[in-house]
């Protein structure tokens, strides 16, 4: 039985549209009149923001705390990503369009670790002042708290939006983030490990002392993603993982990164199959999408003066040796991509928008060399392209490509 979409999206037939590969083939160019940062609040204008709806660790996300770093901070936001001409139909001013789409087409559910949490924070800035964010982090916070972005009732866009029946401005989130380092909870990871051919090494358990935050696909995929209005209205599940797939967390693996590769392949394949199965089971409702975003590694040289003030690179650096598990992240990305391709479900896709971020070693936060400064244009580019990909590229691709029938398993 072929899989059929239950919701007809508008399509544009004809000229090619901007694929993930097209988007990633662009270059960073200096802005004509970059904003000079002389005080913390200048980073908003420098980054193209009017503020941020989320108040979680704002100086850490925005890298705007120390006056000594203001010259660097202004320089970080002084570049725009410019894709090739095939991407010319992608508007630069997309914020209002995205807010409307998140209501009318459906919201985004972000699943991943602290880098995905940065993506959530960045979206809260990109869409401000049309949105509000919860929870309030001014007094206390915990990493496993769900975070939500809602439409602000006073936004002038309210009068332009065609609200789906049952949508509740006060209750229906536009974007939700759930912290999930491995995409499965620890007992599920251990069960898949135990069912494989591995044998524990010197450690009596699979997991080491490194803390992680994880939830089961039963919670976020089977339940949350498909919740009906007014509790939820998600259209797209965006997932990314790799940062915590290390020998510090998975200390019981006897053969080092060879075992991490094998376990990662097994678990990502399980995730893709579960995602495809849930999409098939719920196809009688609106068609949803599952998108995998590749994970960007850190750069050990990010805080050297020549890197911080050197601007974007022209070519991606070749990582052969690096701290933590950074050198292995491109391999893990490739394994996740392969799992998606092998399952070949039309609504589970791998969106390779990796290259722009790899050209920005100058854009990492001041606290470490993995996380990315919000407002540098890297994370904001993910949002801009995903909005285009879901609303323009995918409908065009499906209208202009002869897709094989897909058997429901």
Structure tokens at 146: 């769900």
How confident is the model over 129-143, as pLDDT tens digits?
A: 999 999 999 988 899
Reported as a pLDDT band with limits 50, 70 and 90, residue 11 is: very low
- The answer to whether 151 and 128 have CB atoms below 8 angstroms apart is no
Q: What are phi and psi of 308, to 5 degrees?
A: -60, -35
The Cα 113–Cα 239 span in angstroms is 9
How confident is the model over 333-371, as pLDDT tens digits?
A: 999 999 999 999 999 999 999 999 999 999 999 999 999
Q: What's the whole-number mean pLDDT along residues 105-110? A: 98
Q: What's the whole-number mean pLDDT along residues 1-5? A: 28
Greater confidence, 62 or 408?
Answer: 62
Tell me the CA distances in angstroms from 169 to 158, 163, 193, 263, one per residue in order.
9, 9, 43, 42
Please give the pLDDT value at position 401. Answer: 82
Which percentage of the chain shows pLDDT scores above 70?
93
The Cα 402–Cα 387 span in angstroms is 24
Please give the pLDDT value at position 308. Answer: 97
Q: Please say if the pLDDT value at position 206 is more than 50.
A: yes
Structure tokens at 156: 């002038």
**For residue 143, which of 117, 121, 125 has the smallest C-alpha distance?**
117
Q: Please say if the pLDDT value at position 32 is more than 90.
A: yes
Least confident of 24-33, 167-176, 285-294, 379-388: 285-294
**Residue 348, beta-bridge partner list:** 290
DSSP H or E run through 128 = none
Q: What's the whole-number mean pLDDT along residues 76-94? A: 96
- The answer to whether 384 and 95 have CB atoms below 8 angstroms apart is no
Reported as a pLDDT band with limits 50, 70 and 90, residue 321 is: confident
Q: Please say if the pLDDT value at position 94 is more than 70.
A: yes
Grouping H, G, I as helix, E, B as strand and the rest as coil, residue 407 is: strand
Distance of CA 340 to the CA centre of its chain: 16
Q: Please say if the pLDDT value at position 66 is more than 50.
A: yes
Please give the pLDDT value at position 366. Answer: 96
**For residue 337, which of 318, 358, 322, 353 has the smallest C-alpha distance?**
353
DSSP H or E run through 73 = helix 70-76
- The answer to whether 285 and 226 have CB atoms below 8 angstroms apart is yes
Please give the pLDDT value at position 198. Answer: 61
Q: Please say if the pLDDT value at position 181 is more than 80.
A: yes
How confident is the model over 213-271, as pLDDT tens digits?
A: 999 999 999 999 999 999 999 999 999 999 999 999 999 998 888 999 999 999 999 99
Tell me the CA distances in angstroms from 240 to 50, 137, 237, one per residue in order.
28, 24, 10
Instruction: Compute the mean pLDDT over every residue in the chain, rounded to the nearest whole number.
Output: 92
DSSP H or E run through 150 = strand 147-151
How confident is the model over 361-406, as pLDDT tens digits?
A: 999 999 999 999 999 999 999 999 999 999 999 999 888 887 666 6
Q: Please say if the pLDDT value at position 64 is more than 50.
A: yes
Q: What's the whole-number mean pLDDT along residues 153-179? A: 98
The Cα 399–Cα 393 span in angstroms is 10
Neighbours of 303 (CB within 10 A): 17
The DSSP-derived string for 346-390 is TTEEE----HHHHT-GGGB-SS-SSSB-TTSSHHHHHHHHHHHII
């Amino acid at each position: 039985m072929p899989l059929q979409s239950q919701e007809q999206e508008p399509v544009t037939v004809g000229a090619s549209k901007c694929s993930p590969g097209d988007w990633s083939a662009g270059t960073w160019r200096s802005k004509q009149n970059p904003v000079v940062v002389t005080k913390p609040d200048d980073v908003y204008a420098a980054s193209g923001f009017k503020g941020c709806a989320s108040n979680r660790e704002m100086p850490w996300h925005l890298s705007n705390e120390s006056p000594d770093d203001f010259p660097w901070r202004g320089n970080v936001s002084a570049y725009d990503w410019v894709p090739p001409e095939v991407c010319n139909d992608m508007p630069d001013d997309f914020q209002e369009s995205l807010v409307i789409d998140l209501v009318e087409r459906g919201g985004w559910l972000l699943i991943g670790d602290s880098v995905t949490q940065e993506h959530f924070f960045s979206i809260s800035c990109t869409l401000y002042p049309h949105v509000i964010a919860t929870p309030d982090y001014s007094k206390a916070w915990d990493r496993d708290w769900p975070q939500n972005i809602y439409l602000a009732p006073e936004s002038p866009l309210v009068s332009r939006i065609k609200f789906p029946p049952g949508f509740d401005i006060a209750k229906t989130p536009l974007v939700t983030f759930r912290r999930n380092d491995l995409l499965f909870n620890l007992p599920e990871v251990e069960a898949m490990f135990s069912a494989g051919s591995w044998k524990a090494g010197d450690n009596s358990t699979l997991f080491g002392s490194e803390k992680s935050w994880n939830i089961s696909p039963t919670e976020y995929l089977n339940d949350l993603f498909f919740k009906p209005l007014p509790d939820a209205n998600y259209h797209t599940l965006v997932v990314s993982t790799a940062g915590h797939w290390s020998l510090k967390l998975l200390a019981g693996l006897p053969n080092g990164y060879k075992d991490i590769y094998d376990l990662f392949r097994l678990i990502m394949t399980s995730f893709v199959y579960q995602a495809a199965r849930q999409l098939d089971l719920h196809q009688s409702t609106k068609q949803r999408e599952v998108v995998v975003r590749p994970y960007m590694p850190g750069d050990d040289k990010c805080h050297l003066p020549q890197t911080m003030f050197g601007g974007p690179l022209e070519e991606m650096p070749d990582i052969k040796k690096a701290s933590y598990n950074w050198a292995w992240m491109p391999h893990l990305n490739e394994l996740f991509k392969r799992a998606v391709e092998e399952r070949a479900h039309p609504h589970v896709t791998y969106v390779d928008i990796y290259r722009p971020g790899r050209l920005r070693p100058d854009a990492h936060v001041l606290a470490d060399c993995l996380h990315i400064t919000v407002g540098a244009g890297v994370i904001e580019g993910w949002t801009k392209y995903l909005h285009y990909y879901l609303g323009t590229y995918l409908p065009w691709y499906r209208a202009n490509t002869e897709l094989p029938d897909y058997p429901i398993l």
